Structure 1
Amino acid sequence: MKNKQLFTLLTMAIGIFLCILDTTVMNIALPAIQTGLHTDLNKLQWALNIYTITFATLTIPLGRLADHFGQNRVYLIGLFVFIVGSMISGASSSVNLLIVGRGIQSIGAAIIFPTSMTIGINTIDIKQRDQAILILGLTQGLAAAFGPTFGGLFTQLWTWRSIFFINVPFAVLSLILCLILLPFKNESRVKTSVDVLGMILSGIILFSLTLALVQGSTWGWLSFSILGLFTTFSISLILFLLHESRCTNPMIQLDLFKHRHFVGSIVVTVISGIFFVAIIVILPSYFTKIQGYSELQAAIMITPATLMVLIFSPFSGLLLKKIGPRLLITTGVLAIIAGYVGMSVSNLTIYWQLAVSISLIGIGYGIIVGPITILSAGNFTGDLLTASQSVTGVFRQIGTVLAVAIFVTALSNNLVTAKRIIWDDAQNSVKKICVSENERKKIATLTYHDIYFSEGSSDNIKQTEKISPQVKKYRLGVKKNVQIQMTNAFIRPYRIATPFTVAFLSSIFIFKRKRYN
């Protein structure tokens, strides 16, 4: 690989890393942002949602427009838009301005992702193409995995604003390198008409699907709004498939889905993404809200999973041609199954047990992500290559959204049940305390407040005028019950998911078996 080719590839990797990093970097900083902007969590969630929804919705159409107007020029526009969005987000004085900044960021990311993949792959000689695909693909997985770690680190050492401002120097560096390395004169373009109807329909499909998944638990899965979104998604998908099958220059060439390994890589991308994102999104909340760790400590505690991705993904990509996709992906799935079984039976309060389980999940995801990145590109060239990477990127985002929708919804329901159990037990226990009726009511009121408004810490009970040995015993009993019930609430989604990890094994049959001579 020549020096210029290598530098171009690494420049594209910077862009990919930044736009994928910002899908998860903000999660762990939400409490700090909420305090800094004096807003409620429901409104703040839209700073997360706008990025995911816009990124998923615009990746395919903007990738196609880049083909039409020139990959290199459009990529520079994407970097500039991303820089502007990052600066607005970091300088936000209100949650509304933060949402606007994140929206602008996501438009830039939707340009950067598909164009950087195509530019990076096309820069490298065909003989070394798999190496380029592997490097760019691993950059995606590592950026998503390390997002919470970097978010916790930046928030703890500086402020939450740094998670956005840190993008600027790297994006500017990438922009300067692009001006030096990329050719802009006589740049090759796909000289075909733009499939405007296909762009509109694909946008409606992805917008309605991602919005429904993101807001399902908030608006209610059976609400008129969510059912309407799923109906819109279904109708738009049917119309899109009919239109694309008849269109001369389609938005997405449906021939992509005739390739067995491409279909398999999409399926595995979504499912493996769900199981991996579920641990890096949910566990930090458990460490901070239930066990009382800082954001940085919580980020470090999930690092074993991300480190395993970093270690195993390069090796698995290099082994693809030697042992074939089926055996590699089977090994990865088995590691994920072992990790989820471990999560189901381990004690979350004993960290080493949890660390072993999430490390196994990280190993499994690392083994999987290398091969499927290469398989998703296949032997495609030109606009088929761009389309394959755009589609893969969109499905990666859908996997992330599904993970959040499924596990956050399950967790929210479990927390409601856990708090009700704690309160019922507390009501029975408070009746046994030998104090006046007024004092008993005061203790009960403070306990209720702590359970439903202070994560069940029951610390406010110490504010009672006189704490007798019985009250102290009552407090300890409530705290112990809080720890047990809340921990069960967090672990239950993983227990429920374990049989589905086993079912994940069936996906390996999509891939061809390696034939040995």
Structure 2
Amino acid sequence: MPSLPQESIVTTTLPAQSAAPDRRTAPPDVRPDVPARRRVPLWLAIAATSLPMFMATLDNLVLTSALPVIQADLGSSVNQLSWFLNAYTLAFATFMLPAATLGDRIGRRRVMIGGVVLFTAASIGSALSTSSEALIVARAVQGLGAAAIMPLSLTLLAAAVPPAMRSAAIGIWGGISGLGVALGPVVGGAVVEGVSWQAIFWLNVPVALLALPLLLVAVEESRGTWQRLDLHGTLLLGGAVFLGIWGIVHGNDDGWTDPVVLGSLLTAAVLVPAYVLHARGRAHAVLPLRLFRSRGFSSANAIGLFFTLGMFGAVFLLSQYLQIVQGYSPLEAGVRTLPWTAAPMVVAPIAGALVPRVGFRPLLLTGLLLQMGSLIWLAWLAQDIAPYADFVPALAMAGVGMGLTFAPSATAVLDGLPETEFAIASSANSTIREFGVALGIALLVAVFEGNGGELTPWGYDGAIAPALLTGAAAVGVAVIAALFAPGRPRRTA
């Protein structure tokens, strides 16, 4: 990872002791007085915004290795086990856009701090849960807190660092985000085997106690343009996200023709165009349609959807493959995916530093083509039940490809947009990627089961390859979207 020079600093603005401007006539960031300046090390701003985000991404998959232990302890049903994961995902994806809107109004740092506090309180509630129902509720509240953390962390970081260092800083942020996803199953397996499943949630408490003072010291408060709340738009778009993900995660278990599943998906499909009609011509829409005029924003979101659909669905299947077919424990399987899932921590900062020099498109195309090729390679290896050593080069190839995709796509989302719209743009991208993760797992599992696949040592024969090739096809769609990505970054409006 490229080191940041110690002399790199972030200049933040402190409000003077004069009267605040009228919020009805000017954005809250605009102050008529001359601000005082203070100097904050760049690494401190990155740490302050990345640490809470790491905590939120870690908990997205941290329970996957602990589910059998929790089932034995709480007597949970199979449906309740799925809701330990789905409650978090649903709340996380549904409320990111409303959290960004709230941050624009009352302060992004303030809302993010509130998210950290809520997330930590829900973590304590999860650790103290003595029933499946209590744990599901606590996980949903955790998702609410994470919804205020994930997109606003990128927004605050992008606004805090100098424009010349923004791509490199976002690269480091993307690497840490990928590390959180990568270490989720590993940390969960290690903690469960060494301590207990409750300790998974207690780990968040010291992280939060460190993150909160860092946010107060290293990050300046910021807001977006003052505007009216779009309650109707929030309900339409939030309802579409919630019902869409709910239908997707239940499709394989309840059947895609189940009336409730089918009704959820159809309603979500109707709510999306209803939101478009509602948002046309509305400057204060919860997701302004004008953002889609940006090539960077539109192409990065298309890439985010299909890239996460293909890759994270494949990660889910291969982690099960390593346990069921090759006989590794959950912790051992998590460690063996690290050539794939930990590589972005190294590659993403390098890719971020290269964005100003080579542009978005070459990095995105290279990264996505590497991932598509790796999935084809992994499909061939898994189908022939090759030894783990044969998987390592393909896994590393996938990890390098992900690292080359994370940072440029996260930077492209903000390319050319005014800083007042960073929070909304980042939240939209995070929501779409979370939707892609849920859809990818459901779709690849459906292809796996449709080809006769079962979660048994012999049940992967003839089923794992079609599923992974489906993931490769999804990444191929992302390759096409990358062809429309902008070349070099534009100056922020």
For the criterion TM > 0.5, the same-fold answer is yes
Partner letter of residue 336 of structure 1? Q
1:489 — aligned with what?
Answer: 463
The Cα offsets for residues 121-152 of structure 1, whole Å up to 9 and x where unpaired, read as: 22222332223332323322222233222222
Quote how far apart the aligned CAs of 1:408 are. 2.3
Matched, 1:147 2:184: yes
Alpha carbons of structure 1 residues 157 and 350: separation in structure 2 relative to 1, 3 Å: same
1:476 — aligned with what?
Answer: none
Quote how far apart the aligned CAs of 1:15 are. 1.0
Partner letter of residue 147 of structure 1? G
Quote how far apart the aligned CAs of 1:161 are. 1.8
Quote how far apart the aligned CAs of 1:488 are. 3.8
1:189 and 1:343 map into 2 onto residues whose CA distance is: 45
Quote how far apart the aligned CAs of 1:117 are. 2.0
Could you list the structure 1 runs, at least 4 aligned residues long, displaced by more than 6 angstroms after superposition: none
Partner letter of residue 314 of structure 2? I
| TM-score normalized with structure 1 length | 0.82
Alpha carbons of structure 1 residues 28 and 64: separation in structure 2 relative to 1, 3 Å: same
Matched, 1:33 2:7: no
Identity among equivalent positions (%) equals: 26
Once the two structures are superposed, the pairs formed by residues 359-508 of structure 1 within 5 Å of their partners are: 359-414=396-451, 417=452, 483-508=457-482
Quote how far apart the aligned CAs of 1:496 are. 4.2
Partner letter of residue 494 of structure 1? L
Partner letter of residue 352 of structure 1? A
Assess if the C-alpha contact under 8 Å between 2:323 and 2:329 holds in 1: yes
User: Which residue, 288, 291, 295 being the options, matches 2:323?
Assistant: 288
Gaps in structure 1 of 5+ consecutive residues: 420-454, 457-482
Matched, 1:261 2:296: yes
Matched, 1:85 2:122: yes
1:410 and 1:147 map into 2 onto residues whose CA distance is: 25
The Cα offsets for residues 456-488 of structure 1, whole Å up to 9 and x where unpaired, read as: 5xxxxxxxxxxxxxxxxxxxxxxxxxx444344
2:352 and 2:223 map into 1 onto residues whose CA distance is: 30
User: Which residue, 120, 129, 135 being the options, matches 1:98?
Assistant: 135
Aligned residues: 450
Assess if the C-alpha contact under 8 Å between 1:253 and 1:384 holds in 2: no
2:158 and 2:472 map into 1 onto residues whose CA distance is: 37
2:477 and 2:238 map into 1 onto residues whose CA distance is: 31
Quote how far apart the aligned CAs of 1:4 are. 4.5
More deviation, 218-227/46-55: 218-227
2:76 and 2:180 map into 1 onto residues whose CA distance is: 28
Assess if the C-alpha contact under 8 Å between 1:133 and 1:377 holds in 2: no
Assess if the C-alpha contact under 8 Å between 1:288 and 1:298 holds in 2: yes
Matched, 1:338 2:373: yes
Quote how far apart the aligned CAs of 1:162 are. 2.0
Assess if the C-alpha contact under 8 Å between 1:348 and 1:354 holds in 2: no
Quote how far apart the aligned CAs of 1:330 are. 1.9
1:302 — aligned with what?
Answer: 337
Assess if the C-alpha contact under 8 Å between 2:340 and 2:399 holds in 1: yes
1:276 — aligned with what?
Answer: 311
Structure with greater proportional helix content? 1
More deviation, 506-515/393-402: 506-515
Alpha carbons of structure 1 residues 121 and 383: separation in structure 2 relative to 1, 3 Å: same
Gaps in structure 2 of 5+ consecutive residues: 1-7, 10-39
Assess if the C-alpha contact under 8 Å between 2:319 and 2:333 holds in 1: yes
1:285 and 1:40 map into 2 onto residues whose CA distance is: 20
Task: Give the root-mean-square deviation of aligned CA atoms.
Answer: 2.2
Matched, 1:20 2:19: no
Matched, 1:43 2:80: yes
| Largest Rg, 1 or 2 | 1
Quote how far apart the aligned CAs of 1:99 are. 0.4
Alpha carbons of structure 1 residues 392 and 206: separation in structure 2 relative to 1, 3 Å: same
Partner letter of residue 201 of structure 1? L
SS in 2 for 1:160: coil
More deviation, 258-267/118-127: 118-127
Assess if the C-alpha contact under 8 Å between 2:171 and 2:352 holds in 1: yes
Assess if the C-alpha contact under 8 Å between 2:168 and 2:350 holds in 1: no
Alpha carbons of structure 1 residues 246 and 101: separation in structure 2 relative to 1, 3 Å: same
Quote how far apart the aligned CAs of 1:80 are. 0.9
| TM-score normalized with structure 2 length | 0.85
The Cα offsets for residues 178-207 of structure 1, whole Å up to 9 and x where unpaired, read as: 3344557xx656432211111111211111
Assess if the C-alpha contact under 8 Å between 1:156 and 1:295 holds in 2: no
Matched, 1:60 2:34: no
Assess if the C-alpha contact under 8 Å between 2:115 and 2:149 holds in 1: yes
Quote how far apart the aligned CAs of 1:64 are. 0.3
Assess if the C-alpha contact under 8 Å between 1:37 and 1:95 holds in 2: yes
1:161 — aligned with what?
Answer: 198
Quote how far apart the aligned CAs of 1:248 are. 4.0
Quote how far apart the aligned CAs of 1:58 are. 0.4
Assess if the C-alpha contact under 8 Å between 1:305 and 1:359 holds in 2: yes
